[in-house]
Amino acid sequence: MNEMLLLRHGETEWSKAGRHTGRTDLPLTEHGEEQARALAPLIKEPFDLVLVSPAQRARRTAELAGLTEYEVDPDLWEWDYGGYEGITTATIRETRPGWYLWRDGVIPGDAEHPGESASEVAVRADRVIARARAVQGRVALVAHGHFLRVLAARWLGLAPEDGRLLRLDTGTYSRLGYEHDEPVLLAWNAPVT
């Protein structure tokens, strides 16, 4: 693999409000669609592998950015927030003062939202990285903030919890690659508008 382009999906109503959005399948807002269209200039040359999360917000972002031929990969789903699905950090901290996802994790939820640890997210991220590294050429991923932060940490050989160091906003792009055969960040959380 020469380079991996990461696109975080555009804004949703929940991302705008700061609500943890794991497996809840929400559409993009109008602004989120604008963010996705703004990513199109990054798609000038073809990619040898394009993987997209099953979530409609990721699929729509891919399509509006010009990545119309892609494979849906369930390993790209967002972190499963369990019992914190749809809840803001401020609300969680009302009952768990000082709570921080990367340190404290999530509580179990219902059958659709059982929850995941950072290490469980990393297992999925490692599978995606292995697929990408097997490709001769360019790779693009369209997914979610916390998942892509874990993936980048794993790319760099770091613990999944080190993704906490890599803020990632909606509608941004990042690039992973190599320097002297060692994995590096080429660009991170870069806006296009």
pLDDT single digits (tens) 101-145: 999 999 999 999 999 999 999 999 999 999 999 999 999 999 999
Please give the full DSSP string across 98-134, using - where no structure is assigned: T--HHHH------TT-----HHHHHHHHHHHHHHHHT
Catalytic residue among 11, 20, 78, 113: 78
As given in the structure block, the two tokens for residue 92 are 């969680």
Cα 85 versus chain centre, distance? 16
Catalytic residue among 9, 20, 113, 146: 9
pLDDT at 193: 67
Q: Which helix (H) or strand (E) holds 161?
A: none
pLDDT single digits (tens) 68-114: 999 999 999 999 999 999 999 999 999 999 999 999 999 999 999 99
Q: What is the CA radius of gyration of the chain?
A: 16
d(CA 4, CA 154): 14
pLDDT at 2: 84
Q: What letter represents residue 13's amino acid?
A: E
pLDDT at 181: 94
Please give the full DSSP string across 41-99, using - where no structure is assigned: GG--S--SEEEE-SSHHHHHHHHHHT--S-EE-GGGSPP--GGGTT-BHHHHHHHSTT-
- For residue 153, name the pLDDT band (cuts at 50, 70, 90): very high
CA 58 vs CA 21, 35, 38, 51, 107: distances in Å: 12, 12, 14, 10, 25
pLDDT single digits (tens) 1-52: 789 999 999 999 999 999 999 999 999 999 999 999 999 999 988 999 999 9
Q: Could you confirm whether 180 is annotated as catalytic? A: no
Of 156 and 2, the one with more pLDDT: 156
As given in the structure block, the two tokens for residue 39 are 């990513």
d(CA 120, CA 133): 20
pTM for the whole thing? 0.97
Q: Could you confirm whether 9 is annotated as catalytic? A: yes
